[in-house]
Amino acid sequence: MKVVLLTGGTGYIGSHTAVELIIAGYKVVIVDNLSNSSIDSIDGIQKITGVKPDFVKADCSVFSEIQALFDKYNGFSSVIHFAALKAVGESVEKPLEYYHNNLSSLINLLQLMKKWNGGNLVFSSSCTIYGQPDTLPVTEKSPYKPAASPYGNTKKIAEDILRDTINVSGSIKGISLRYFNPIGAHPTSEIGELPLGKPDNLIPFITQTAIGIREKLQIFGSDYDSVDGTAIRDYFHVVDLAKAHVLALKRLEENRNKTGFEVFNVGAGKGVTVLEIVKAFEKVSGVKLNYEIIGRRAGDIEKVWADTTFANAELNWKVQSTLEDALLTAWNWEKKLRVVRSEK
């Protein structure tokens, strides 16, 4: 059985990817420092798949801790690297923390992969590396614009590190998946987005407002160039994103990557405004949201959505779920969390 290391694997995207990997027949080893995730996701993965992944608590930005992990498992032929700080707004306030954590963790992994004879690495990247594009939708060949946040810049620099390392290593191959805006939860409601403290993403804010945890949803900006003045993003189901990781890993294993290091956009390929998301959620949930529109948030761009033609053709990947499907799973997950909270 093929073994895959998932860094940050108890997190939102990592836990959903663990499920899809196990279903595809892989043995999953998860490493996470639990700084912004819960160990409970391991139980959720097991309930969905019937398999409990190995779990090691460690910090990828600390070399000695990750070295001990590689030594324990005699290296890994495949790694999917999720572990990173990821809040755009927070990165503006704490740039050094973001540069240290996000870049050190990747460098540590690459050094250890090189020591253990290389392997395959799928990297969790972001559409934030495009900045505010001049032309939409963005393709993988769209020129980089200055990153709007330190978070976005860490992803750009990380891809540069990967490309430069892979070009000379001869033993490491890699694919970077540039995420747009994954939302939703697993249809079983066993795992989903579970931010610790105040959410950084739109959908948890929406569901927590709908459930009564938060009094009011704040929407940042009303003067963007869109049909309703709110920012435009490319939202798609997290399970579809998880499946893209499996396809990317198989592409590396089967030596179908054409340049050693490849990048793919993963999104729905359609732009949706924040207010359109609010209205779609109200429709699927039957709950009227209390919201207010305030000023723009530092680090946010105006609009971005993906051209996924390359991923469709080369990875044989495309979104399967509708926006409404994704929002409904997010709402069902939030309602389950309410039950869990009430029982504690």
Q: Looking at 266, 290, 314, which one is the last position of a domain?
A: 266
Query: In this structure, how many other beta carbons lie within 10 angstroms of the beta carbon of residue 221?
Result: 17
Domain count, the chain: 2
Residues 102 and 221 in one domain: no
- Specify the CATH number for the domain of residue 57: 3.40.50.720
Note the pLDDT of residue 342.
Answer: 63
Q: Which amino acid is residue 250, in one-letter code?
A: K
Which 8-state DSSP code applies to residue 72? H
Query: What pLDDT was estimated at residue 343?
Result: 63
208 lies in the same domain as 97: no
pLDDT of 198 reads 79
Given this model, what pLDDT does residue 76 score?
97
Of 266, 289, 317, the last residue of a domain is 266
Q: Which domain holds residue 314?
A: 202-233+269-343
Q: Are residues 282 and 321 in the same domain?
A: yes
Tell me: the pLDDT tens digits for 296-316? 988 888 999 999 999 999 999
What is the pLDDT confidence band of residue 40, given thresholds at 50, 70 and 90?
Answer: very high
Question: HEC states along 239-277?
Answer: HHHHHHHHHHHHHHHCCCCCCCEEEEEECCCCCEEHHHH
Q: Is 151 annotated in the active site?
A: yes
The verdict on 167 and 149 lying in the same domain is: yes
What was the pLDDT predicted at 315? Answer: 96
Residue 344 has pLDDT above 80, yes or no: no
Query: Would the pLDDT of 146 be above 70?
Result: yes
Contact 11, 37 (CB under 8 A): yes
Question: Same domain, yes or no, for 289 and 328?
Answer: yes
At residue 341, the pLDDT reads: 63
Lowest mean pLDDT among 140-144, 173-177, 247-251, 284-288: 140-144
- Two structure tokens written together for 19: 């499920």
**Contacts (Cβ under 8 Å, ≥6 apart) of 184:** 192, 203, 237, 238, 239, 321, 325, 326, 327, 329, 330, 333
Do both 94 and 135 map to the same domain? yes
Distance CA 318, CA 309 (A): 9
State whether residue 125 is helix, strand or coil. Answer: strand
On whether residue 190 sits in a domain, the answer given is: no
CB atoms within 10 A of CB 25: 9
Q: What is the spatial distance between Cα 189 and Cα 339, in angstroms, rounded to a whole number?
A: 12
Task: Identify the active-site residue in 12, 26, 130, 151.
Answer: 151
Q: What percent of the chain has pLDDT over 70?
A: 99
CA 122 from centre of chain: 12
Q: 258 vs 78, 81, 173, 249, 314, CA distance in Å?
A: 18, 21, 10, 14, 10
What is the domain-level CATH number for residue 304? 3.90.25.10
**What is the amino acid identity at position 251?**
R
pLDDT recorded at residue 189: 97
**Strand residues in 140-248 grouped as ranges (E):** 172-179, 181-183, 217-220, 232-233, 235-237
Q: Shortest CA distance to 32 belongs to which of 18, 47, 48, 46?
A: 18
- Measured N-to-C along each axis, helices 63-73 and 95-115 cross at an angle, to the nearest 10 degrees, of 30
Provide the pLDDT for residue 131.
86
Q: Name the pTM for this structure.
A: 0.96
Question: Pick from 283, 289, 147: which is nearest to 208 by CA?
Answer: 289
Tokens 């992803």 correspond to 155
Question: Rounded to an integer, what distance in angstroms lies between the CA atom of residue 130 and that of residue 179?
Answer: 11
User: Does one domain contain both 214 and 115?
Assistant: no
pLDDT band at 226 (very low <50, low <70, confident <90, very high): very high
**What Å distances lie between residue 166 and 103, 118, 266, CA to CA?**
16, 10, 22
pLDDT exceeds cutoff 70 at 249? yes
Nearest to 192 by CA among 49, 40, 318: 40
| Residue 258 burial by Cβ neighbours in a 10 Å radius (0-12, 13-18, 19+) | exposed
Mean pLDDT of 256-274: 95
Question: Above 70 in pLDDT, residue 169?
Answer: yes
Decide: helix, strand or coil at residue 126.
Answer: strand
238 and 296 in a single domain? The answer is: no
Average pLDDT over the chain reads: 95
